[in-house]
Amino acid sequence: MSLREIRRWPDPVLAKVCAPVEDVAAVRTLVDDMFDTMYAAPGRGLAAPQVGVLLRVFVMDVGWKEGAKTPLACINPRIVTASESLHTGDEGCLSIPGVMAPVTRPDSVRLAYTDMDGTAQVVDLEGFAATCAQHEMDHLDGIVTFDRLDAAARAALLAEYEAQA
């Protein structure tokens, strides 16, 4: 296992839609590396395009900073249902370090995915876990937090991000 370079916005790979994974066994090393990279960053979620791989894979662990690790690897994930109730919260992104963006998302989602054993799974996520999964799903569709903002908020956060560079 090894650490991979995290791509930073405006790297063009972050704007591309990812391809489905055909062979789960073929992404085992990628997933292991993504967990190592995410924990080292330190983050709570990481999608394959953030490490330059255009496959529909993301990893997350929303509670590890507060307690025990609960890693979740999602291959070919899709949101089956999303709540009508919404929440707006500040989201950070390992590909846009130092910027917190206010993003509105459903409070809860039902996520279907394939696990590392090749088994189909469905999980209901709420609160921060739902937000994290939706954020990582965005990456698989070529969307970053800047894309979720209105023009004024985007301009302000872009200026903040560029000032840090």
Distance between CA 84 and CA 151 in Å, rounded? 25
106 dihedral zone (left: phi>0; alpha: psi -120 to 50; beta): beta
Out of 5, 66, 136, 160, which one is annotated catalytic? 136
Active-site residue 5, yes or no? no
How far apart, in Å, do the first and last CA atoms of the chain sit? 30
Cβ–Cβ < 8 Å for 24, 47: no
Whether residue 38 contacts residue 15, with contact meaning beta carbons closer than 8 Å, is answered with no
DSSP 8-state symbol, 97? T
Would you please indicate which residues are annotated as catalytic (active-site) residues?
Answer: 136
